[in-house]
Amino acid sequence: MLLLATYCLIVLTVSDASASHDNRNLRNVPVSYEGAQVWRTTITNDAQMSLIRKLHDDRDISLWRLTPDHGDFLIHATRKVDVNRRLSSQPYNMNHTVLVLDVQHRLDSLATPTPTWTGKTLKLGHRLDFTFYPELDVINEYLSAISTQYKSLSEIQTIGYSVENRTIQMAVVSNKNPKNAAILIVAGVHAREWIGVTSALYILDQLLNDFDNHPVHVKNIDWYIIPVVNPDGYEYSHKKDRLWKKNRRKFPNCCGVDLNRNFGKYWSMNDATSKKQCRENYAGTKEFSEPESSAVQSVIETVKISAFVDIHAFGQELNYPWAATAERTPHGKVLHDVAKDMSKAILSKNGSTYKFGSGYRKINPTYGSAVDFMYSEGVHHAYAIETRDTGQYGFLLPPEQIVDTGKELVAAMCCVAKALEPQPQFRSKACHDWF
Ligand SMILES: [Zn+2]
- The CATH number that applies at residue 322 is 3.40.630.10
What one-letter code names the amino acid at 381?
A: H
| Shared-domain flag, residues 36 and 123 | no
Q: What percentage of the chain's residues is helix, strand, coil (to nearest 5)?
A: 40, 15, 45
| Shared-domain flag, residues 149 and 271 | yes
| Shared-domain flag, residues 152 and 72 | no
The CATH number given to whatever domain includes residue 42 is 3.30.70.340
* d(C-alpha 427, C-alpha 430), whole Å: 9
Q: What is the pLDDT along the chain (435 residues), one digit of tens a residue?
A: 333 443 333 333 323 334 344 444 555 678 999 999 999 999 999 999 999 999 998 899 999 999 999 999 999 999 999 999 999 999 999 999 999 999 999 999 998 889 999 999 999 999 999 999 999 999 999 999 999 999 999 999 999 999 999 999 999 999 999 999 999 999 999 999 999 999 999 999 999 998 999 999 999 999 999 999 999 999 999 999 999 999 999 999 899 999 999 999 999 987 777 888 999 999 999 999 999 999 999 999 999 999 999 999 999 999 999 999 999 999 999 999 999 999 999 999 989 999 999 988 767 789 999 999 999 999 999 999 999 999 999 999 999 999 999 999 999 999 999 999 877 655 555 566 554
Single out the residue in 66, 87, 110 at which a domain terminates. Answer: 110
* DSSP-derived secondary structure for 155-196: EEEEEEE-TT--EEEEEEE----TT-EEEEEEE-SSTT-HHH
| Shared-domain flag, residues 93 and 129 | no
| Shared-domain flag, residues 93 and 187 | no
Measured in degrees and rounded to the nearest 5, phi and psi for residue 286 equal: -160, 170
Ligand 1 centroid distance, CA of 245 (Å): 8
| Shared-domain flag, residues 143 and 173 | yes
Domain count, the chain: 2
Ligand 1 centroid distance, CA of 421 (Å): 29
Single out the residue in 110, 145, 163 at which a domain terminates. Answer: 110
Ligand 1 centroid distance, CA of 89 (Å): 32
The pTM is what? 0.92
Ligand 1 centroid distance, CA of 185 (Å): 14
Ligand 1 centroid distance, CA of 189 (Å): 7
Ligand 1 centroid distance, CA of 365 (Å): 13
* d(C-alpha 292, C-alpha 239), whole Å: 20
| Shared-domain flag, residues 232 and 258 | yes
Ligand 1 centroid distance, CA of 384 (Å): 9
Single out the residue in 72, 87, 110 at which a domain terminates. Answer: 110
- Please give the C-alpha separations between residue 370 and each of 16, 152, 221, 229, 298, in angstroms, as whole numbers: 33, 31, 21, 11, 12
Do 185 and 224 touch, CB atoms closer than 8 A?
yes
| Shared-domain flag, residues 127 and 105 | no
* d(C-alpha 132, C-alpha 193), whole Å: 14
Do 241 and 30 touch, CB atoms closer than 8 A?
yes
| Shared-domain flag, residues 123 and 103 | no
Strands 70-75, 37-42: parallel, antiparallel or unpaired by DSSP?
antiparallel
- Strand ranges across the sheet with 70-75: 62-66, 70-75, 37-42, 96-100
What is the residue range of 56's domain? Answer: 2-110
